[in-house]
Amino acid sequence: MIKCHLSRILGEKKLKIADVSRDTGINRGTITRLYNETATRIDLEVVDALCSYLEVSVGELFEQNKID
């Protein structure tokens, strides 16, 4: 299972979903699904844009939870 840390990162940077959407051009619904961890797939261009905008690495944005 992949965990998305977007909600934590936005909270730390005091950013709103609307701000990120407006500044990056990423659809608000896409950001909301990532924020709520309900997204089932994501375009690599979106990942790249989010990482650049938020100044984080892919590993800081996403984490793989290992299932034993």
Question: What integer is the mean pLDDT of 54-66?
Answer: 94
Distance from C-alpha of 59 to C-alpha of 4, rounded to nearest angstrom: 10
Burial class, 68, CB count within 10 angstroms (exposed 0-12 / middle 13-18 / buried 19+): exposed
Domains along the chain with CATH numbers: 2-64 (1.10.260.40)
pLDDT at site 56? 98
For residue 65, the model assigns a pLDDT of 86
Spatial separation of the C-alpha atoms in residues 4 and 33, rounded to whole Å: 10
**The two three-digit tokens of residue 51, written as one number:** 């990482």
pLDDT digits (tens, 9 = 90+) for 12-55: 999 999 999 999 999 999 999 999 999 999 999 999 999 999 99
Amino acid letter, residue 52: S
Residue 67's pLDDT band, with cuts at 50, 70 and 90, is confident
Rg (CA), the chain: 11
